[in-house]
Amino acid sequence: MIKNQDTFFSVWRNLVIRNVILYHLKLYKKCRRKSFKDIKQFREYKKREYIEKLILEPQNNNQDYRVIREKDIPYSVKHLKLYSIIGIESFVSNNHFNLIKLYIDCISVVNRFTVGLLPLSILELSLLNYKFEIDEIGILPCNLKRFEVLFKEDHYYYLYSNSNIQQKKYLPIEVGCIPESVEHIYYTGFYFFSSLKEGVLPKNLKSIEFSKSFDQTLVPGLLPNSLESIKFGWYFTNKKEPLTKGMLPDSLKSIIFRSFFNTKIEDGALPTSLKYLRFGRCYEHPLTPNTLPLNLESLTLGHKYDTQIPLGILSKLNSLKTLVLGSCYNSIIIPSSLPNSLTFLKFSIKYNQSIDIDSVLPKSLKTLVFNENTLTYNSLIKILHSNKNNTISKKKNIYNLPSIVTININR
């Protein structure tokens, strides 16, 4: 360490070398982030080798200036965003490349990506409006960690009119085509992962967000045992088949069900490792004593859920800290039905029941959120008067509360 310091200072004291270093450092700071709307201008830019983050969005109608050619992208670029291009001929002449993040708007791309086209150095890949199949091993870089396929709402019709999609209605990904290195997958839109084959998802996957149209019956082994977080699409219902034990991997810590999920969940179907659970607007099946895992820390009920929660459902969840009731929930909360671990409670906008702070709200509660227009005013006064240390998050006087009021109960 001392020897390295001595070497540095001996070099730094040389004014010629120091001025050269400072000159290049100044250029790097000036040029490290650049955006071009003309590829010809970018190709002629003399300080390209200093660029680290590059955005290319060609406006020229000349096709020659909307194609990425070999050596267009300098070795220094680590983050690259491409818009309005019609194709990529090549990135570099060899695999020694620094590019780690690549974002491509593929709406104008006319040919599918070929094996070996994308540099092996890429760790994060985002494809916007990509309308071709990924059906060959090697299309995706083997070291990839994060893979996104995104679709803009205003391009759905364009994509569906494409004959390739019109015939298949979804763009399948074949087994082995997603590298085992991938840990995060995110799909938005209707087409990708409308159907999923067993073995497609890599064994090291940690999180996945499915496309809106994904809906098929889960079977044991379909989702890898490494999975920790899953967010289903709008239309996922498990084909209206009950969720049973083994369909979801035991490794899951977070599950988000979206709008149309209203399928019965059998006892033991949710993994014991689950910490976070959120239901969509349609879920209204009553919770049973063994529906929820004991280690759950956060629960959000669906918009339509308005079934009174019996004793013994939530009270035994000793790790539950956050409870968000659905928008339509207006059932009386039974005394002692909430766990003593609860710190955050949010009522629905339609909740219009009085609350007895001594028998309903656990002493652990720190934050209470409700709507002024529906919660009875007498309950509010009772809560405020029950403890002088209560504080209200508001900008206005207590008698002129905002529509959403947060009461912090400090006991």
Mean pLDDT score, 303-308 = 92
Q: Kindly report the number of other CB atoms within 10 A of residue 353's CB atom.
A: 15
> What is the value of pTM for the model shown?
0.82
Return the ∠ at Cα 23 (arms to 20 and 28), rounded to 5°.
Answer: 125
Q: pLDDT tens-digit profile of 246-288? A: 999 999 999 999 999 999 999 999 999 999 999 999 999 999 9
Tell me the H-state helices in 82-225.
156-161, 163-168
Residues 266 and 287: beta-carbon distance below 8 Å: no
Mean pLDDT score, 228-236 = 93
Burial 190-220 (b: 16+ CB within 10 A, else e): bbbbbebeeebbbeebbbbbbbbbbbbebee
Q: What is the pLDDT of residue 92?
A: 57
Q: What is the pLDDT of residue 65?
A: 82
Mean pLDDT of the chain: 81
pLDDT at 403 over 70: no
Q: What is the pLDDT of residue 301?
A: 94
- Tokens coding 197: 């084959």
The number of residues making up the chain comes to: 411
CA dist 89 and 113 (Å) reads: 9
Sorting pLDDT into bands at 50, 70 and 90, what band is 190? low
Q: Which of 1-10, 16-25, 35-44, 363-372 has the lowest mean pLDDT?
A: 1-10
SS3 22: helix
SS3 169: coil
Q: What is the pLDDT of residue 191?
A: 54
Q: pLDDT tens-digit profile of 129-183? A: 887 778 889 999 999 999 998 876 534 433 333 434 333 445 567 888 999 999 9
Residues 89 and 110: beta-carbon distance below 8 Å: no
Q: What is the pLDDT of residue 389?
A: 47
Handedness of CA 188, 191, 192, 196 (dihedral sign): positive
CA dist 72 and 87 (Å) reads: 13
pLDDT at 379 over 80: no
Contacts of 132 (CB under 8 A, 6+ apart): 111, 112, 113, 164, 171
Phi, psi of 321, rounded to the nearest 5 degrees: -110, -30
